[in-house]
Amino acid sequence: MTSRLKILVDTSFLLPALGIDVEGEVLECIKYFHKVDVHYTELSLLEAFWKILKIISMNDMDIVIEGLNAIRITYKLVIIPSTAYISAFKLYHEGHKDLIDNLLYSTSRELNLKFLTIDYDFINFLRSKKYLTDNVLTPREFLRIVS
């Protein structure tokens, strides 16, 4: 019996459940989430809510609540390890100023999860600084594995 792939998703992959339109490659990946164990952090929900504040009206908050409940029921919440904060701090000071990306990447490394992201600039940054990226999956790589 093979174990299921365990992934930590970048915030982009939570947005459709919350009523926010995303790129096609994100939606294509979500179609296959039933084949893997999907993990998320509360930090990603906070980042998603910053987007919600800008584009969702109060009249549409029912969709957001429904989406939040679906995420919490369907996906697995992970707590960011203390050591991931140290790694994220280091990434920040090496030049990547998106602390959320840094924390998600570092969490995936610490918890031995694959990190699914569409942030190619971040992946290039990691590689340019000689960070391991064997845990990072682009949508194309993810789809190759699961389809």
Q: What is the pLDDT of residues 64-117, one digit of tens each?
A: 999 999 999 999 999 999 999 999 999 999 999 999 999 999 999 999 999 999
Q: Does residue 34 lie in a domain region?
A: yes
pLDDT at position 1 is 54
pLDDT, tens digit, 9 for 90 and up, residues 31-57: 999 999 999 999 999 999 999 999 988
The string of DSSP letters for 55-87 reads H--GGGHHHHHHHHHHHHHHSEE-PPPHHHHHH
In a domain, 44, yes or no: yes
Provide the domain count of the chain: 1
Assess if residue 1 is contained within a domain: no
pLDDT tens sequence across 14-33:
999 999 999 899 999 999 99
CATH number at residue 96: 3.40.50.1010
**Amino acid 121: pLDDT:** 97
